[in-house]
Structure 1
Amino acid sequence: MMRMFLPNRRKLAQLAVAAALGTTLSVTTASAQGQAPNQTLRVVLINDLTGIDPVLSQAGFVRNHGFFIYDQLFAFDSGGTARPQMVETYTASPDGMRYSFTLRDGLVFHDGQPVRAADAVASIKRWAQRDIVGRALAAATASMEVVNDKTFTLTLSRHFALVVEALARPTGSALFVMPERIANTPANVAITDPTGSGPFTFSTSDWRVGDRAIYRRNPAYRPRAEAADGLAGGKVVKVDTVEWLAMPDAATAAAALQNGEIDFIEQPAPDVVPTLERSRQVRMMAYNPVGFQVWLRLNHTQPPFNDPRARQALLHIINQQDVLDAMGVRPSEQIANCPAFFFCGTPLESRAGASGLGKPDLEHARTLLHEAGYNGAKVVFLNATDSPLNNASTLVMADAMQRAGLNMDVLSMDWGTVTQRRNRREAPEAGGWNLFVTIANVLDGQNPLTNQYLASTGDAAPAGWPKDEELEALRRAWWEESDSAKRQALLDQVQARAFQVLPYVPAAQFRTLSAYRSNVEGLRPVTVPVFWGVEKK
């Protein structure tokens, strides 16, 4: 018998997820993928696909790719609850220290091999080497054992309140299940085999970086019987093919949508939105209902931002309103004055310890830079020019930093190149970097456990490598605490300490509207672009 182990201490985390995943919308489900009409859905997402390893890369485009071809053990529904996905049943011991998971019948990889418990365990272990949620779970795990082809167990060594939620990890290095032979690839080596068990298949021979990635309906996929809900439920594919097109020019993409050459734009540039809204053939929707944050990531290992005073100077240089205006975000879509590391407009919003990010105080910033020993060395700012929002926010912040006395060197490149260069540890003048901008959604930053850029574990942290033992202790205390009032107090302490350490700067929060052809049905506001249940009428 399945025992749903869902203590009250999870509720706030669930509400934050629920805000991201919108409301429940039903679609028809089936015991297996039925025959779909010969339809091709052409989509333009925020970035081009330049990598396919969802463990090695934490880029959003790799996560998007993963949701096409892989499936998850658990998935978040629109209410923020982690529901079984590949798992059929699970049990938890009364003390929450031992779990047993049994997989669904009929799960098959794209190569025809059955999905086994050994595949799930190997996938969890590889994921846990790089993802911050996976690392936290692994640190609390005593053992993980394969019982038989369909069942595995997980035994904790210390309390971890969010086991099932961790296994539903939807972003960062999202937890996807791949064959054991592929999951055994070292976590620092890129996989090249895209075999999964998800609702679409992918062939690397059809993939052309800078042009398109092609996903085909997997006729062997067996959706769950229940309706799709958030990222959970029945993943019924209703088109034959999805073509993910690279179309970085915003005007070109907008014209293609109006002409019927493409069907969906995830994040049209703000300056083309009014034109799209006037088109009778185009509809708009808030695909990401909470919105996005501009995160300014700092390299904590290189001067000047290895000194906390230089990092603090940025709070008195950056003006969130200037960033929003530079990106062209309409006032109705702006979230004014948002210093919350866990997003404004969510149950976990906190402003504890917030400082700056409003009217600049360049004189104070110069004083802090001088105290940090800044000597006029170049500050290398990586700029993803193929993303209008990244580009605009980068340029306006770089200009403010220049006026504050920093010697800025803004390097133009595409986002795929940014995701590669940001992993380099060399000095900026030798191929490294000091700053880059990433646009994050609420699933990326929803709480102290899952916010990967908040992790301050040094070499084990994502690119930027902040290290602060106090912040890490507070984060860990948050996900181990069972008392809701104490958890809220800890949340405020995490927020306040983050403003002191500044793993990154929350430089602005905003919403955007996605655009799609009026004959496209079944799109749901789930933050992550997924296309099961979508069809063209």
Structure 2
Amino acid sequence: MPAPCPPQESAVPDRPSPLPGLGRRLAGAGLAALLATLAPAAGLAQARPDATLRVVLINDLGSLDPVQSTAAFVRNHGFMVYDQLFALDSRGEAQPQMVERFERSADGMRWRFTLREGLAFHDGAPVRAADAVASIRRWAQRDVVGKALAAATAALEVADERSFSLTLARPFALVKEALARPTASALFVMPERLAQTPATTAITDATGSGPFLFEAKEWRAGDRAVYRRNPAYRPRPEPPDGLAGGKVVKIERLEWLAMPDAATAAAALQSGEIDLIEQPSPDVIPLLERARGVRLFALNPVGYMIWLRPNHLVAPFNDPRARQAILHLVNQQEVLQAAGIRPSEQLPYCPSYFLCGTPLESRASATGLREADPARARVLLREAGYDGRKVVFLNATDSPINNAATLTIAAALERGGLAMDVPAMDWATLTQRRNRREAQDQGGWNLFVTVANVLDAQDPLSNLYLASPCEGGLAGWPCDAELERLRRSWWEEPDAARRRALLDAVQARAYQVLPYVNAGQFRTLAAHRSNIEGLRPTTVPVFWGVEKK
């Protein structure tokens, strides 16, 4: 379904808000990532052989293919082992990363990109333009942004060993931003031999050209994933800035540990057994605030949304009236309070599909999500032909926020007359089961909750669960030609005022067909040992520039 300046302790504003000075860029380009504005200089200290960083992220690593899966754990893995052609800086602008230089025609329809010299994969093979082209093509088969770029492309061709060209068939104003796609199915460059794997087949070889090497022999799903510094990696000369700039690794080894029990993870952080928790359970935050040697900071300065995803293929939520009934049963503030989000870090009500508190916030056609109206919900369910069958609501119990949100929403839906079945599983299992299209009584499902950050949701192009393409969409499989037409019009429209009107039209249509329901917007703090330096508010967790003192 988004780290620190110098660490910000627990100085948190009353509500998530965009970073200052970014409004015009976001409103104009539509892909401003709202990453943090402050970034420390890229120190060139050598990695210490004994420097092992131990981290607990939202979920442990369950699979390796960043194209086939949109799960955050695969994206986090991807930023360690791969590199990007372009990367979003702290102002949300796409900067060359693997690309050394690029040229474009005056009308923006023809582009040529040249890779940096000396880039190499972990197996020693040079990075070639053919690798980049194959990676783009595979990514574009799955990702919502990649599909939009591919639909606007006339030709994508290798020019020579280090250069490739892109020719557009129709206007697409966000080429660099698309090639900097940092989340969902993020665009990472892998060897051509791997990128030629069908997008429907998962790759199991984590060979990339990024700053860390994956130790496949030490990977134990449900326990740990291990990475070590890539001694052959050549960082850019610029300081790190957002997700862009020089990726100088200052640790020798990184252990990504699975600790689904929140109290166990908090105790391990206090004792120094681990160094960082990406998203501590809200109920342990007060304890960590008082703990000696522990600091809190906003890894994701804008915040998260809880997304409730219905399955549009099977009853009852294949009928839009049944999906609209959810709006009259879910109370966002109730969900956030149940998840233990402190009042200072929650928005009691947010009707926007594009994050509240940002320049693209919209309230067009907003309905429900405040006070429950079970009577209205029952009417809609009756009109949709709901017959009392079980509604299977998948519950990832290894995530405290997902678990609390799921149980709270399930109780609200039950009060509205739905018969609920809430099977418990871990997130990795959920990400597999949600791909099943069968009816719920044949192993399928009806609902699940995911948590998205600003990079997942910031505009009509990048919002991965808003896309409703009928064919080839993400699990849940919404289908609405009108919503797709409005989304496409938004990213093709050059006039800012018209784009704003189109944005509201996209939001209004989304409230009619409900590809998903926003069950609440909030922010949480990450926690780390006070001797860990170099962490930055990068929205997604990255570990170049980080060191132990």
TM range (shorter): over 0.9
Describe the superposition over 1:119-159 as per-residue Cα deviations: whole angstroms up to 9, x where unpaired. 00000000000101101000110001111110000000011
Q: Out of 42, 47, 51, which is 1:28 matched to?
A: 42
Instruction: Verify: 1:210 aligned to 2:228, yes or no.
Output: no
Instruction: After superposition, give the CA deviation of every residue in 1:337-366 in whole Å (9 maximum; x if it has no partner).
Output: 101111011111111110000000000000
Do the aligned partners of 2:304 and 2:454 also contact (CA within 8 Å) in 1?
yes
Distance 1:404 1:398 in 2: 10
Question: Counterpart in 2 of 1:533?
Answer: 545
TM-score (norm 2): 0.95
Asked if 1:387 corresponds to 2:399, the answer is yes
Q: Is 1:156–2:142 an aligned residue pair? A: no
8 Å Cα contact 1:281-1:517 kept in structure 2: yes
Letter in 2 for 1:102: T
Cα distance in structure 1, aligned partners of 2:29 and 2:231: 35
Deviation at 1:205, TM superposition (A): 1.2
Is residue 449–residue 479 contact of structure 1 (8 Å, CA) maintained in 2? yes
Give the match for residue 309 of structure 1: 321
Return the alpha-carbon distance in structure 1 between the equivalents of residues 231 and 347 of structure 2: 43
Assess if the C-alpha contact under 8 Å between 1:13 and 1:447 holds in 2. Answer: no
Deviation at 1:460, TM superposition (A): 1.4
User: Residue 117 of structure 2 aligns with which residue?
Assistant: 105
Residue type at the aligned position of 2:83:
D
Q: Is the 8 A contact 1:9 1:483 kept in 2?
A: no
2:396 aligned with 1:354, yes or no?
no
Q: Say if 1:223 and 1:236, in contact at 8 Å, map to a contact too.
A: yes
Further displaced range: 346-355 or 252-261? 346-355
Once residues 23 and 332 of structure 2 are traced to their aligned partners in structure 1, the CA distance between those partners, rounded to angstroms, is 33
Which of the residues 497, 513, 536 maps onto 1:524? 536
Q: How far 1:520 sits from its partner (Å)?
A: 0.3
Equivalent residue for 2:438, pick from 407, 426, 430: 426
Q: Kindly state the Cα deviation for residue 224 of structure 1 after the two structures are TM-superposed.
A: 0.2
- Name the CA shift for 1:187/1:49 in 2 (closer, same or farther; >3 Å): same
Match of 1:324 in 2: 336
Q: Distance in 2 between matches of 1:479 and 1:18?
A: 14
Other-structure match for 1:257: 269
Residue 222 in 1 paired to residue 215 in 2? Answer: no
Q: Distance in 2 between matches of 1:301 and 1:51?
A: 26
**What does residue 515 of structure 1 align with?**
527
Q: Check the 8 A contact 1:9/1:482 in 2, yes or no.
A: no
Aligned pair partner of 2:297 in 285, 304, 307: 285
**Deviation of 1:204 (Å):** 1.6
**Is the CA contact (8 Å cut-off) linking 1:313 and 1:369 kept in structure 2?**
yes
* CA separation of 1:536 and 1:34: change in aligned 2, threshold 3 A: closer
Distance in 1 (CA, whole Å) between partners of 2:403 and 2:195 is 36
- The 1:72–1:14 alpha-carbon spacing in structure 2 relative to 1, beyond 3 Å, is farther
Distance (whole Å) between structure 1 residues aligned to residue 451 and residue 421 of structure 2: 21
Q: Secondary structure at the match of 1:216?
A: strand
TM-score scaled by structure 1? 0.97
Q: Could you say which residue in structure 2 is the equivalent of 1:89?
A: 101
1:492 aligns with 2:512: no
Which structure 2 residues correspond to residues 100-499 of structure 1 after superposition, within 5 A? 100-499=112-511
Checking the alignment, whether the CA contact within 8 Å between 2:214 and 2:226 is kept in structure 1 is: yes
Cα distance in 1 between the residues matched to 2:313 and 2:500: 31
String of CA shifts for 1:414-437, please: whole Å, max 9, x gaps.
000100000001111101100000
Q: Distance in 2 between matches of 1:249 and 1:41?
A: 20
Aligned CA-pair RMSD: 1.4
Match of 2:67 among 37, 55, 59: 55
Partners of 2:82 and 2:88 in 1: CA distance: 15
Query: For 1:477 and 1:488, how far apart are their aligned partners in 2?
Result: 11
Alignment-derived partner of residue 58 in structure 2 = 46
Matched-pair contact (CA < 8 Å) for 2:305–2:518? yes
Q: Distance in 2 between matches of 1:460 and 1:191?
A: 19
CA contact (8 A) 1:457 1:472 kept: yes
SS of 2:74's partner is: helix
Residue 18 (structure 1) shift: 5.0
For the structure 1 residues 27 and 342, does the alpha-carbon distance in structure 2 shift closer, same or farther, using more than 3 Å as the test?
same
Instruction: Specify the code of the residue in structure 2 equivalent to 1:22.
Output: A
- CA distance in 1 between counterparts of 2:204 and 2:292 reads 43
Q: Is the 8 A contact 1:10 1:161 kept in 2?
A: no
Q: CA offset at residue 15 of structure 1?
A: 7.6
CA distance, structure 1, for counterparts of residue 47 and residue 349 of structure 2: 50
| SS at 2:67 equivalent | coil
Q: Match of 1:453, SS?
A: coil
- What does the per-residue CA deviation read over 1:200-240, in whole Å, with 9 as the maximum and x for residues that have no partner? 00022110001000010000000000000000000000000
Q: Partners in 1 of 2:254 and 2:23 — Cα distance?
A: 40
Describe the superposition over 1:153-185 as per-residue Cα deviations: whole angstroms up to 9, x where unpaired: 000001111011000000010000000000000
* Kept in 1: contact 2:33–2:455 (CA 8 A): no
Count of residue correspondences: 528
Cα deviation for residue 278 of structure 1 reads: 0.2
Please state how far the C-alpha of 1:461 moved relative to its aligned partner: 1.1
Amino acid at match of 1:277: E
Q: 1:362 is matched by which residue type in structure 2?
A: P
1:35 to partner: Cα distance: 4.2
> 3-state DSSP class of the match of 1:213?
strand
Q: Relative to 1, partners in 2 of residues 1:13 and 1:211: Cα closer, same or farther, differing over 3 Å?
A: farther
Q: 1:261 to 1:91 in 2, by over 3 A?
A: same
Give 1:34 deviation, angstroms: 4.3
Runs (4 or more) in structure 1 with deviation over 3 Å come to 13-20, 33-37
Q: Distance in 2 between matches of 1:27 and 1:484?
A: 35
1:11: Cα distance to partner?
2.7
Paired position in structure 1 for 2:25:
11
**Offset of 1:17 from its aligned partner?**
5.5
Inter-partner Cα distance in structure 1 for 2:231 and 2:427: 33
Residue 12 of structure 1, CA deviation: 2.2
